[in-house]
Chain A
Amino acid sequence: MATKNKKLSLKDKYQYLTRDMAWEPSYQKKEDIFPYERFEGIKITDWDKWEDPFRLTMDAYWKYQAEKEKKLYAIFDAFAQNNGHLNISDARYVNALKLFLTGVSPLEYGAFQGYAKVGRHFSGAGARVACQMQSIDELRHVQTQLHAMSHYNKHFNGLHDFAHMHDRVWFLSVPKSFFDDARSAGPFEFLTAISFSFEYVLTNLLFVPFMSGAAYNGDMATVTFGFSAQSDEARHMTLGLEVIKFMLEQHEDNVPIVQHWIDKWFWRGYRLLSLVSMMMDYMLPNKVMSWKDAWEVYYEQNGGALFKDLERYGIRPPKYQDEANKGKHHISHQLWSTFYQYCHATNFHTWIPSEDEMAWLSEQYPDTFDKYYRPRFEHWQALQEKGERFYNKTLPQLCQVCQVPALFTEPDDPTQLSHRSLVHDGERYHFCSDGCCDIFKHEPEKYIQAWLPVHQIYQGNCEGADVETVVAKYYHINIGQDNFEYLGSPDHRRWQAIKGNKPLGADDSKDAA
Chain B
Amino acid sequence: MSIEIKTHAVEPIRHTYGNIQRRFGDKPASRYQEASYDIEATTNFHYRPLWDPQHGLNDPSRSAVRMADWHAVTDPRQFYYGAYVQNRAKMQEATEYNFSFCDKRGLLTRLPDAVQENLLRLLVPLRHVELGANMNNSSVAGDCVAGTMTQLHIYQAMDRLGMGQYLSRIALLIDGGTGEALDRSKTYWLDDALWQPLRQLVEDSLVIKDWFELTLVQNLIIDGHLYPLMYQHFDQWLAEQGAEDVSMLTEFMRDWFSESSRWVDAMVKTVRAESEANAEQLQAWIEVWQPRVIAALAPLAEASVGAPALTEVAAQFAARLKKQGFAAQEIVA
Contacts and interface: CB of A to CB of B under 8 A. Distances in A.
B203 A113 contact: no
A207 interface: no
Nearest to B147: A109
B6 interface: no
A16 B82 CA distance: 28
Contact of A1 (B116, B135, B190): B116
Nearest to A6: B178
A274 B32 CA distance: 34
Nearest to A494: B13
B147 to A, nearest CB: 8
Contact of A112 (B34, B154, B162, B177): B154
B17 interface: yes
Interface in B85-112: 85-86, 88-89, 91-93, 95-96, 109
A184 B41 contact: no
Given A160-B17, A450-B46, A183 B186 contact: no
Given A8-B179, A27-B204, A144-B81, A139 B154 contact: yes
Contact of A117 (B45, B128, B142, B155): B142
Interface string B26-42: 00000100111011111
Interface string A60-83: 011101110110110000000111
Interface of A is mostly: helix
Given A61-B158, A139-B154, A113 B141 contact: yes
Interface in B174-190: 174-182, 186, 189-190
Contacts of A494: 13
A147 B35 contact: yes
Contact of B43 (A39, A161, A167, A450): A167
A422 interface: no
A163 B46 contact: no
Contacts of A119: 138, 142, 157
Interface stretch (B47-55, B238-246, B261-269, B286-294): B47-55
Contacts of A344: none
A154 interface: yes
A27 B200 contact: yes
Contacts of B176: 1, 3, 7
Nearest to A14: B165
A167 B41 contact: yes
A83 B204 contact: no
B325 interface: no
Nearest to B36: A143
Chain B binding surface, main DSSP class: helix
A184 B57 contact: yes
A142 interface: yes
A234 interface: no
A181 interface: yes
B284 interface: no
Nearest to A143: B35
A132 B46 contact: no
Interface in A95-128: 106, 109-110, 112-114, 116-121, 125, 128
B178 A161 contact: no
A12 B183 CA distance: 13
Contacts of B3: none
A3 B180 contact: yes
A364 interface: no
A86 interface: yes
Interface in B118-167: 127-128, 130-131, 134-136, 138-139, 141-143, 147, 150-151, 153-155, 157-159, 161-162, 164-166
Given A28-B207, A136-B81, A150-B17, 4 more contacts: A33-B207, A116-B150, A144-B82, A155-B12
Going nearest first, the 10 A-B pairs with the smallest beta carbon separation are: A58-B162, A117-B142, A66-B89, A154-B12, A116-B142, A5-B178, A69-B82, A116-B141, A143-B35, A161-B18
16 contacts: A1-B174, A5-B175, A5-B178, A20-B179, A22-B128, A33-B206, A57-B165, A62-B88, A135-B154, A136-B155, A139-B154, A140-B81, A147-B35, A154-B13, A176-B41, A184-B47
